[in-house]
Every structure is written in C-alpha cells, then in structure tokens.
Structure 1
Amino acid sequence: MVEAPGIKTGALRSEIKAPSNVVELSELPATAICGNDISSSCLYVSALAIIYAGKYAWVSLLLVAGILYLFRKIYGEVVGALPLNGGAYNALLNTTSKPVASLAACLTLLSYMATAVISASEAMHYVHELWHPLPVIPATAILLAIFMILTIIGIGESSKVAVGIFVTHIVSLLILVLFGGWFLLNHGFSTLAANYAVPAKGGLVVALFFGFSAAMLGISGFESSANFVEEQAPGVFPKTLRNMWIVVSVFNPLTAFLALAIIPMADVMTHQEALLAHMGGVAGGSWLSWLISIDAALVLSGAVLTSFVGVGGLVQRMALDRILPQFLLRLNRRNSAYRIMIAFFLLCASILLITGGELGALAGVYTISFLSVMVLFGLGNILLKVKRARLPRPERAGWLSLLLAIAAVLAALIGNAVMNPVYLGVFLEYFLPTIGLIAIMLNRVAILKGLLQLLKYISDPLLRMISNTSGSISNMIERINAQEFVFFTKGDDVSILNKVMRYVSDNEHTYKLKIVTILKEGQTISPEIRKDVEVLDRAYPEIKIEFISCNGEFGPDLIDRLSEEWHIPKNFMFIGSPGDRFPYKIADLGGVRLII
C-alpha cells in the first residue's frame, strides 16, 4: 500500500470506516425507534381525518393502511437489495446521480427536522396542560438536548428508552380502546348515529379524498427504519415494516371510529389538539385523560428520538459519500457520530428560537417533505427494477402496486396543497436554502476553481500594478540614495572622521561619500588617513567611501570646479569648522555645510 506523505491514513480510516462493534438492534428495539413516530400519529390524525372526511374518517384511514401495505413491499425490495442507511437517498444514489439523490436527502432532512421540533413542542404542550407553570420553549429545547445526549451515548442505550416509550404507548392505546368499547356498550351508539346524520362536506368522494390526504400524514416514521437499517440485525428490517403497518392499520381507524361514536362532531374541532385525551376523559374519567396526556407527551418525545436516529444514519451516509463535510464522521468511544447529533440539535433549537415556538408554519415543511420522500422512494424502486434488474433482492413489489402507491401519495400531496395553499411557500423557505447548501457541496470543486479564476482575474492587474509601483519606489529610493556627498578633510584623525560618518548616516539619504583631502604642492598623503578610511569603510558597510586627493588650494574656485566636475551641488559638500586664519568667509564657499 502506498501512503501519501504527511497523511495519517489510520486516523482518516478511523473517521470514515464503520465500526466493527456496531450494536445490532433486534425486532422490538428497532420497531420502537421508528414505531414511536408512526404510532404517535393517532394523537392528531384521527382529528384531522374527522375534520376533513367527517363520518368517513375511519374509511380514509383504512385506505391509508392499504397504501402503506403496498409500501411494505416497495421498501422491502429496495432496502433488501441495497441494505444501507439513507432510505430514499440510498435508493436514488445507486440508481441515478448524486444531485438527484441529494434532493431526496434534503427532503428527508427537512422532514426529520420538522418532526423533531413539532413533536418536542407538542410533547411539552401536553405536559404544560398537566402542569401550567412549565415554560414550553425552554422545556422543548431541554427535551431536544436530552435526546441528543441519548443518541450520543449510543443507539443501544437510546433504544431501551424507545422500547419503554413504545410499550407504554401501545398499552395506553389498548386501555383507551377497551374503555371506549365499554363506554359504547353502556351508552349505546346514539352519538355515532347523530354524527352519521351530518352530511359530509362535498359528498363521499371529496370527503374521502381530503380525509385520505390528511390521514397520509399519519404514516410519518415509516421511512425512518430504512435510515438506520445498518444498525439492525439481519432480517429485522421487514419485521419493523410489518409491525408499523399493524399499529397504523389497527389503532388509527379504530380511534377515529371510537371518536365518532363517543364525541359529537361539533366537539371534535374544539378538542382537535388533544382529541384522544378528551375521548379518554369522556369514556373513562379524568384519570384516563391524564394517562393519555402523559402517554402523548412520552410518545411524541419518542418521535424526537426517531428523528435523531434517522438523521444520524442519513447524514453519516451522506458524509461518507462526501456530500456533507467529513468532520461529521468522527466517532466517540461509543461509536456514535456525536457531531451529527450536536449539529442536528443546534439546527432544531435555532428554528425553535427563531420561530418563537410558533410552529404552525413548520407543518407545511413536514407535510410536503414527508410525502415527497415517499414518492421519491417509489421512483427509486422503479429505477431499481429498470436499471438494476439483476441485483438480488428478498422480495419484489408488483408494478401495479408500485404505480398505485406512487399515485396515491401524489394525490395526497396535491390534496394537502389544495387544503393548505400556504404550505408550499413555507416549504420553499426551508427547502431552497437547504438544497442550496447541498448544491454548494456537490459543486465545491467547480466553485473553488471559479473563485481561483476570479482571484487571478482580479489579482493579476493588481500584482502588475504592485510590481510596477514597487519598481518605481525602488528606483526612487535608488535615485535618492545615489546622490553623492563630499567631505573635505585636512588630515583629521579617525575620531573626527567617525563623527562625519555618523552625521552622514543619521542625516542624509545616501550610500556614497567622497572624503577629499587637498594637497599643496610638494605635500603627500599620510598613510594613517588611508588606514582610517579603510577602518570606517568596514564600520559603515551601508555607505561606500571613496578617498580622493587633489592638488591645489582649498577655496571657492576649487569647490566650484569639483561641484561642476562631479555634478554634486555645493550644499552637499561638508567641511569642519575653519580656524581664525582661514582666508575666506563661509558665505564665499557657496553653501558648503559645516558639520564638525
């Protein structure tokens, strides 16, 4: 194996390689994790179905159960052929391209985000009804943080909590159904008859269509099992689909029917937010209403856990495929991708704070995202059949059932858009930034190349200008320092000459100095002065010293001649202070400077 120098491949593998000691969930824990989300739907979907379908609510919920049965085969075929985390993203990644698969991933992430925030908020609203001093928004944030910590600890530990919540919820629903049945035996079916006397809005077909569209939201969570299939033991995944289908097929139509039989239609709208708790109070008394409220808070909290687990599996897969940053893959000692959980918590908490707890708009994000994911999963199955026909799979969905399932979800999507036109706008407000970030990651190399070209386009003229300016400045400095200066010495010792050098160094911009001595006829240069100049030349390397001897008489005429000959202005010529016997006035020298 060849390793690139400077790269610690072992450390890199520890981040992106799936751990070998992953917890393999058995049937009950795996069902509980995704089942808490889908089984909590009866708390709100019964009321929605009754509002839109009236007396046909339970029929619309049975239709949803029938469509969900078709999706059991669809999910079973796709995940059986491609048993990897990611759900619809994984299906499309292996049959189309990364951009198309990323679309499914964005929708799934939005669905989980909306589910987590809405479920946590609704759970705390139930607790608030039981204990009014509870501050809902801080409590919601704390609940999100608790499940973040649980998933960081590990899926094995969090699954135990999920099992406890799931079992409690199923038992609570059984108690509610039993007391509802007992209530009917004792009070008769007069309320049901009265409700059936109320005509459905728009007639049978319209009522069933809108009731079915609203009721389709009750199967949210069914897609979650496919997002953590790698953490499930072999053979568990299809069992989770079966178990979720049974729960939805039994409890959702049954609770809707009991609500119609126990609660007058006019009261359903009044108690829409907590219809089952109200039904429990009517059928069994306040204790049953309390039990259902507590159960609602618990199971909605369990739906938050479903979101965290689903996001963990999906984002980990996306990071492995380099659609999301690799730093999200770092594992803790419990083999949990803790950075994903922290990032998801921060996202949910920020949305909670930004909206101020007013989460009605998020329903649009949740609705369109979830239904779109279901459609894309069906399309992934079609592509799997066409493009990967030879890939082995444990079961196959028939073409008719596949097309019927996709058409039904599309119909539900259209129905929800008609019922709530504002949902589309709200959805786009969240979807466009999300898909924008993913698009940046998918095209980051092209974007970086474009930025590089832009920088070169901007910087090349700038660099040329800087280079030209630098050259001009250097030339200017060179011209300034190239100016020569002259000092006339009459045989001064080295200490005097050193003072001259210090003066020139401190006061003038130059690296050239002529030290000139004037010799009268018959006069010679003393060897000491040459040695002194050599010493100073070494002591002041930044100034080039030139020693010159001239024959003549020092005076204005000599200064004029040397100034003209050397092209050095007379004010750049220095002398020491002359004595009393100097025959000329300083003014006669034409501006020669006294520096000593």
Structure 2
Amino acid sequence: MSPWLTAHAHPLRPLPAKLHSAPCITNHDGPPVPPPSFRDSQFGIIFRRQRQRPLDNSGLKEYLALPSRFVNLTSSFEFAGWGSITRLKLTREDREAGEAKLNKMRKERVLGQFTASALAGNAVLGSVFYALPAVVAVGGVYSPISLFIATLILFLWRPIMEELASALPISGAPYTYILNVSTKSLALVGASLLLLDFASTAVVSAATAATYLAGEVPSLPFPIWVGAAIVLFLFTIISLTGIKESARIALIVLALHMASMTILIIASSVHWGQIGIDQFKANWEAGRTSNASAGSVAKQIYYGFCLGMLGLTGFECIPAYISRIKPGKFPLVLRNLHIPAIILNTAMMILVLAIVPLDIIKGGANVLSILAQLAGGRWLRIWIVIDAIVVLCGGVLTGILSACELLEQLALHRVLPNFFLRLLPKTGSPFVSVLSFAAFSSALYASAGTSLNIISQMFSLVWLTVMSFFPISLLLLRFNRGRIRRDSPISLVVIFIALIIVPAVLVGNIAVNPLTAAYFAAYFLGIVVIFTATQNKIYLLRWIYWTYDQYPCLHHCRATMAWGKILINLMTNLRRQPVCILVKTDEINHLFHMILYVQKNEETSYLKIVHFYDQEFGVPSELEANAKILDEAFPEITIDLILIDAVFEPTNVAALANHLKIPTSVMFMTCPGKDFPYSMSELGTRIISL
C-alpha cells in the first residue's frame, strides 16, 4: 500500500449490509479475492486524483478544459487554485490580540437601561407631537380609543424582540437577525428598510421641529426646509462626539421632555376640572353624526388605530444598537419606553379633546402648544414649543446613531467598503457612516421636494414593514436555528398574531392615502437596487468585462486595454478576499451545504475550512479526505483546511482572526446547541446552518 494511504488509514463507520454482501472477485490462480474495502477504495480514488496535482499546486483541473465564456481569457481565469492542508498552533501574540479584541468589545457595552432608553426614547416619546394630529384627522373623537389600542399592540412585539435579542445580541437588527437565520439577499431587504426607516426618523423629526418653530415664530428669516437642514447639521456634529457622549445628551433631553409632559398633563387636568366637560361634549357632538352606524364608527377607530402606530416609531431602533447595551438591560429598556408611550399618547389625546375645540385640532396647528396655552398660559406654551424642538432633535440623533450601527454591520459583511469602519481617533465615532447617513437623509428630504407630508406618509409604512421583520425573524430562527440558546421562548400563537396584524395595519394606512404606497415603493426599491449592486460587485464586473470582451477593436487600443486589465485585477482582488467556515465534524454532506451557502451568499473564491481540536480526541477521521474531495468539486473556489490545536472558544476565534487577518464577521459556523457556553456576540461569527 502507498505510504500516503498507510499514514491516513483509519477505522471508518460500519458499511451497509448491501456493501458487505458484494460478490468476490475471482482469481483463477488462487482463492477468490474480496473487493477493495470502502476505506481502500475511498482513499485510492482521492490519492489517484490528487497525485496529478503538481507539487507547487500549479496546473488546472480537467473540468476547466471546457471553453471559457470570455474571448480573451483562458479557463485559468476561472480556476481559483488548489487548496492546502495546514496544522496551526496559535502564538502568544495571537492570543493576546484576541483577548484585547474581546475586552474592547466588552468595554463598548456602556449603555445602561436609562441611557439606552434615551437614545430611542426621544423618537418614541417625541412622536406624540406628530402622531396626535395625524390620528385625529382620521379617527376624530374616537382617537383616544385608536391610540390606546395601537400602544397595546406592542405587548405582542416586546416578548418577540426579547427572545431574538437573547439569542442574537448583535447590533444592526433585524438585518443581522435575518442574516443569521436566512439568506443574505433577504437580509439586505431588511437592511434597505432599516436604512429608509432611520432616515425617515431623522428627516421627520428635523422637519417637524422646524415646523413647530415656524408655527410659533411666523417671521423666521429662513424657510422651514433650511431649519430642518440646520437641525440635521447640528446633530450630525453632536453624533461625531461618540456614542457614549451622545447617549448622555439624549438622556438629558428625554428627562426634560418627560418633565415637560408631566407638567402639561397636570396643568391640563387641573384646567379640565375647572371648565368641566362642556368642551368634551361639544367636540363629541361635532365629531359624530346622529345616524352614524356601528360600521362607520369601527372604520374610524380602525383608521385611527392604523395611523396611531406612528406614536410607537422609534422602538425598532433599540435592537439596532443592542451590542452597546449592558447584559440583561434590553427588556428593561423596552419596558421603560412602552409604558410611558401608552400613558402619554392616550392621556394627551383625551386632554386635547377635552380642552381644545375640534376645528382647531383638525386645523393642523401645533396641537400640544395650543393645549398648553389654554391650560397654563403663554409661558407653558413657550415651554412646550421649546420641548418639542429639543426632543424632536433628539429623534434625529436616534436615527443617526442607529444607522451607524447598521452601516458598520454592512461593512463588516463586505456589502459596503471597509472605509465605513473608520473611526475618529479621539471620539471613536464612525465619521464616514455619520456623514454618509447625513448626506442620504438630506437627499431623501430634497428628493421629496422638502415636503414633510410626503416623508411622513411614507414613514408609517416603512415602520410597519420593519416591525414585521421581527416576528418573521423569530419564526425563521425557530425553524432554521431552533437549537440556539435563548431566554423565555414565547408561544407560536403570539408570533402568528403579530404577523396577521401587520398586513391589516398596512392595508389601513394605504387606504387612508394610496399615494403612500407609491412613495414607499420608489424609495425602497432604489435602496434595494444599490445594496444588491454592492453585494454582487464581481457579478456586475463580469458582465461589464464580457461586454468589453465582445469588441475585438477594444483590445488593440492602449487606453481600452488598460481598462480591461483594471477590470481583471479588480475582479481577482475581490475574489481573493477569504472567508472561513468553522466546522466540528467531518460529515461531507454538512461541509458541502456550508460551502454552498458561501458560494450563494458571498463573493469569494477563497474558502478556509477551520477545525479546532485537542490532542486527546484528535482530528475527525475523514476531515482531510473530505476536504480534498470538496476542493475537487468546486474548481472555482480554493478550499484550504486549517487544523488548529486549541479549544473552540471566543478568545481563540478572535486570535485566529488576527492570525489570518480575516474578521470574525466573515467566519461562519453551524448553530450552537442550548448547552453552548458562549454568546454569539462574543464569537462575532455568523450562523449558516441548523
């Protein structure tokens, strides 16, 4: 037997009975000779195929003798190269670098329940300034009922969001949730919705703040759109100071807002007690018709409920920065914002109907500032206007910081260029992401003709669609990654009810104003096209080169020849960006499906199969052989096998990333079981199989 075969001989699994009963081969010069064993035939085939490979790993596989689709490129362009097998022992420097990375990540979890609540709280609790007028316009005197029902709906979403966060405490959700439980294409749809949602949050908040100011100061020296631009610029500068400092500013703003709303509620309640219920009766009579049927009343409540969801915008931002929140605080953050949202929206709506005449409410004026004027006088009105401007500016900050977390994840997953990860040296702020998002928000506002009405119409649909991704993500997690550890699994009934509610509310919003769907579709499809293009860069470049290749004259001109070489080099460099799959077993079907995932979801021709082992158990018996088979099966991918003498744990994974110069964000693994002792946020890897 060959020395190679001898060195790799090992006991294999029992063969099926059908193989054991195979007939013997007759030897006319002696007794019957049994057929080769499974072990001998398996390794014989591998050895026969692999020994044709030159020692320097040059040469092509026979598969690539087929003609190339390119006129001026041979099959060697398609061939990624032969893989190799390496045994690696991590150095002390690698381990120190890995430990330093983990410590840095732990130190970034700086947000407690109140600072984390403040970042999204200004958007959630500040939405009362633009949600109430929108709800009254369709819900009329039944608006308190509509708003109360709308705020109660979040009791369905809170346990869904908590279970997802316990399983995958990774920033950028729900994009990162979908990425770990489904395909990257679907995840990019979620990312497109999130980016549009965050931009809408920033633009609507800035424009509403400017509108409130213009409503109180008619002689402003600049138009409303300039005021909105100033707000966007100011909070772009603030966000460049870093997330911790921004959270502290947001907490101060939220505290002032809650104090202002408390004073307004107390003052309005006292005033209501003084004037009695006459105004409420007048509004009730003016808002309902004597022959109103139960169906028309239900329709008003339904439409008000659909638009009442605007009073909850901002909740979707919380999971976007969950990796910055201290462990165990996420459920408290949801509670801290949900309960005040129920009280604030419902109580304010009742007080407005009890004190302010209905024709003024529907007139589109600054409703809460008028309520403050009637309840407390001019001083309280000025206070509420200032509070509205400040807290809505805080909503701009929420949109910017949430978008930065999303853009960082997209850069880590190679959808966006690496320069989105660059940080300011003193503040640690991702300045490229901040400035890019500010530019995108400005472009969104400008393309809508600086119309707050258009952006607001679209905002409700965007928010609802984003919220639908949470139950969808949890359903996919249960089905595709059911073994992962998570806290307090909820009933499937809750998930299905949430999934039923979303389309019902979407239909209601579209029925109120059908143009809403058109604006939403236009912006959404535009972002999806951009992300799809950035994700499929090599595919697009191949089409460009193929078109260039069809014209022979272009290959004789020096200028165009240079462009051809640039395209080839660009494709080659992009293809050689490596990814890793971290494997536990040597099952070839399991390895095959993981490689298929990489082939379908990542643009690379360089894959490293990594296995951590210890000396006691050794390397799985068939891993090396199967790696060679797979290297043969995928000529367009170089498949290396790296065997690491170390324990599989976060520090060693980070050390490996440092050694190979491959970020953990492009290291993939199978779903860990419930007894797995580490969090996915510590590993930083992606789950790609059950």
- TM bracket (short chain): 0.7 to 0.9
| Equivalent position amino acid for 2:278 in 1 | S
Contact 1:128/1:134 (8 A) holds in 2: no
Contact 1:44/1:275 (8 A) holds in 2: no
Q: Which one of the candidate residues 202, 210, 214 is aligned to 1:124?
A: 210
Instruction: Give the corresponding residue for 2:8.
Output: none
| Equivalent position amino acid for 1:284 in 2 | G
1:159-204 CA-to-partner distances (Å, cap 9, x unmatched) read: 1110111011101110111011101111111111222333277622
Verify: 1:172 aligned to 2:260, yes or no: yes
Q: Which one of the candidate residues 281, 297, 312 is aligned to 2:389?
A: 297
Deviation at 1:356, TM superposition (A): 4.8
Kindly report which structure 2 residues correspond to 1:98-497, keeping only aligned pairs within 5 A, or say none. 98-131=184-217, 132-135=219-222, 136-197=224-285, 198-199=287-288, 203-270=296-363, 272-333=364-425, 334-458=427-551, 460-463=552-555
Query: Does the C-alpha gap of structure 1 residues 297 and 446 become closer, same or farther in structure 2, counting only changes over 3 Å?
Result: same
1:196-224 CA-to-partner distances (Å, cap 9, x unmatched) read: 33327762211111010010111110011
Contact 1:127/1:134 (8 A) holds in 2: no
Q: Which one of the candidate residues 114, 122, 128 is aligned to 1:28?
A: 114
Query: Does the C-alpha gap of structure 1 residues 344 and 421 become closer, same or farther in structure 2, counting only changes over 3 Å?
Result: same
| Equivalent position amino acid for 1:228 in 2 | Y
Partners in 1 of 2:397 and 2:307 — Cα distance? 24
Deviation at 1:17, TM superposition (A): 9.8
Contact 2:208/2:452 (8 A) holds in 1: no
| Identity between Structure 1 and Structure 2 (%) | 29
After superposition, the CA RMSD in angstroms is 2.4
Query: Does the C-alpha gap of structure 1 residues 54 and 129 become closer, same or farther in structure 2, counting only changes over 3 Å?
Result: closer
Query: Does the C-alpha gap of structure 1 residues 128 and 196 become closer, same or farther in structure 2, counting only changes over 3 Å?
Result: closer
| Equivalent position amino acid for 1:295 in 2 | D
Contact 1:61/1:215 (8 A) holds in 2: yes
Deviation at 1:464, TM superposition (A): 6.6
| Equivalent position amino acid for 1:158 in 2 | S
- Structure 1, unaligned runs of 5 or more: 4-8, 467-596
Deviation at 1:344, TM superposition (A): 0.8
Verify: 1:63 aligned to 2:149, yes or no: yes
Q: Which one of the candidate residues 18, 42, 46 is aligned to 2:132?
A: 46
Deviation at 1:233, TM superposition (A): 1.1
Partners in 2 of 1:275 and 1:282 — Cα distance? 11
Query: Does the C-alpha gap of structure 1 residues 189 and 343 become closer, same or farther in structure 2, counting only changes over 3 Å?
Result: same
Deviation at 1:367, TM superposition (A): 1.9
| Equivalent position amino acid for 1:323 in 2 | V
Name the larger-Rg structure. 1
Partners in 2 of 1:17 and 1:142 — Cα distance? 39
Deviation at 1:414, TM superposition (A): 0.8
Instruction: Give the corresponding residue for 2:633.
Output: none
2:181 aligned counterpart, secondary structure: coil
Deviation at 1:342, TM superposition (A): 0.6
1:327-360 CA-to-partner distances (Å, cap 9, x unmatched) read: 1111222222110001011122233444453232
Higher helix content, 1 or 2: 1
Contact 2:205/2:393 (8 A) holds in 1: yes
Instruction: Give the corresponding residue for 1:91.
Output: 177
Partners in 2 of 1:19 and 1:249 — Cα distance? 38
Query: Does the C-alpha gap of structure 1 residues 443 and 282 become closer, same or farther in structure 2, counting only changes over 3 Å?
Result: same
2:288 aligned counterpart, secondary structure: coil
Contact 2:448/2:454 (8 A) holds in 1: no
Query: Does the C-alpha gap of structure 1 residues 2 and 438 become closer, same or farther in structure 2, counting only changes over 3 Å?
Result: farther
Deviation at 1:266, TM superposition (A): 2.1
Query: Does the C-alpha gap of structure 1 residues 220 and 419 become closer, same or farther in structure 2, counting only changes over 3 Å?
Result: same
Partners in 2 of 1:54 and 1:139 — Cα distance? 31
Query: Does the C-alpha gap of structure 1 residues 2 and 433 become closer, same or farther in structure 2, counting only changes over 3 Å?
Result: farther
Partners in 1 of 2:288 and 2:129 — Cα distance? 25
2:452 aligned counterpart, secondary structure: coil
2:442 aligned counterpart, secondary structure: helix
- Structure 2, unaligned runs of 5 or more: 1-85, 89-93, 559-690
Query: Does the C-alpha gap of structure 1 residues 465 and 170 become closer, same or farther in structure 2, counting only changes over 3 Å?
Result: closer
1:235 aligned counterpart, secondary structure: coil
Deviation at 1:142, TM superposition (A): 2.4
Deviation at 1:108, TM superposition (A): 1.0
Deviation at 1:127, TM superposition (A): 2.4
In the superposition, the TM-score normalised over structure 1's length comes to: 0.73
Query: Does the C-alpha gap of structure 1 residues 191 and 130 become closer, same or farther in structure 2, counting only changes over 3 Å?
Result: closer
Deviation at 1:18, TM superposition (A): 10
Contact 1:23/1:155 (8 A) holds in 2: no
1:332 aligned counterpart, secondary structure: coil
| Equivalent position amino acid for 1:106 in 2 | S
Partners in 1 of 2:221 and 2:166 — Cα distance? 45
Query: Does the C-alpha gap of structure 1 residues 324 and 298 become closer, same or farther in structure 2, counting only changes over 3 Å?
Result: same
Query: Does the C-alpha gap of structure 1 residues 369 and 442 become closer, same or farther in structure 2, counting only changes over 3 Å?
Result: same
| Equivalent position amino acid for 2:288 in 1 | P
* Higher RCO (CA < 8 A, seq sep 6+): 2
Contact 2:548/2:554 (8 A) holds in 1: no
1:73-99 CA-to-partner distances (Å, cap 9, x unmatched) read: 111111111000112111111111111
Contact 1:23/1:156 (8 A) holds in 2: no
In the superposition, the TM-score normalised over structure 2's length comes to: 0.63
Task: Decide which moves more: 273-282 or 122-131.
Answer: 122-131
Partners in 1 of 2:468 and 2:103 — Cα distance? 29
